[in-house]
Amino acid sequence: MAWSGILEWPFVVSGFAVGGMVGLTGVGGGALMTPLLVLVFGIHPATAVGTDLFYAGLTKIAGSTVHGANKAIEWKVVLRLASGSAPAALLTLLTLSHLGFKSGHAGSAISLALGIALLLTSVSLVFRPWLVERMAPRFDAMPDRAVGAFTVALGALLGVLVTISSVGAGAIGVTVLLMLYPRMPTLRIIASDIVHAVPLTLIAGAGHWAMGSVDWSMLLSLLAGSVPGVMIASHFAARAPDKLLRGLLAGVLVLVGAKLAFQ
């Protein structure tokens, strides 16, 4: 689908809506934006993912700067995640390149991975408290070396999911990190996850760009809507029923994920 002009208003409006959801719940950037581009606008899955990766990376740079200034980043966790995610992202890019980024096979693979990632994200949103309560004591009893190995493995999983689908670094990453590091303050978990997502999304996005799967005009329009959307929604976030919003978001992700995975 071709849109002319500097700012394409359907994308601006979409960016504003998704930015608002992110501001209210902290989740939903890639999980909503990529399927929206694929299912509503008919964008090829590879282009939707590639564009959303840069969208996420640029957005999270600002968040990382704030967390860095507040000294809320646990760099040990960031390095462990990156040591798994960076090689996994590069190997995934090589595999997608071999398949042909915009071929029918690659498009089907990306849609399937996107659907699975959305379903996993919805599960992590709904069952996060239960999962953390059940699993955190087990990881807390493990030696740090074992926890480190699990963190690297988590990074590798996120590297594959994010590179293929642009989804997973937020809800899935935070949920598992809360289980792995139960004694670490939640703010440091979230801050470390956001910081790790920056190089991951930019590495994956650069790979998509090199293979022609980034639409810069669309990206500009999405950012033009999402930045004010995040700012406005964040102002009212404290008044919003967070549990209800996350439940509704999880329900939407289940329906969209199932459509993409089993279409």
Least confident range from 55-59, 91-95, 114-118: namely 55-59
Tell whether the model's pLDDT for residue 101 goes beyond 50. yes
The mean predicted confidence, pLDDT, of the chain is 83
% of the chain at pLDDT higher than 70: 84
Q: How far is residue 61's CA from residue 58's CA, in Å, rounded to a whole number?
A: 5
Q: Which residue has the higher pLDDT, 129 or 75?
A: 75
Q: How far is residue 260's CA from residue 158's CA, in Å, rounded to a whole number?
A: 19
Q: What is the pLDDT of residues 222-231, one digit of tens each?
A: 988 888 887 7
Tell whether the model's pLDDT for residue 1 goes beyond 50. no
Could you tell me the two tokens for 169?
A: 């670094």
CA distances 109 to 36, 84, 133, 212, 256, Å, are 17, 22, 34, 18, 16
pLDDT number for residue 160: 93
The mean pLDDT of 10-39, rounded to a whole number, is: 80
pLDDT number for residue 4: 47
Tell whether the model's pLDDT for residue 71 goes beyond 80. yes
Tell whether the model's pLDDT for residue 108 goes beyond 80. no
Least confident range from 11-15, 97-101, 155-159: namely 97-101
Instruction: Give 114-173 as a 3 state SS string.
Output: HHHHHHHHHHHHHHHHHHHHHHHHHHHCCCHHHHHHHHHHHHHHHHHHHHHHCCCCCHHH
Q: How far is residue 211's CA from residue 230's CA, in Å, rounded to a whole number?
A: 30
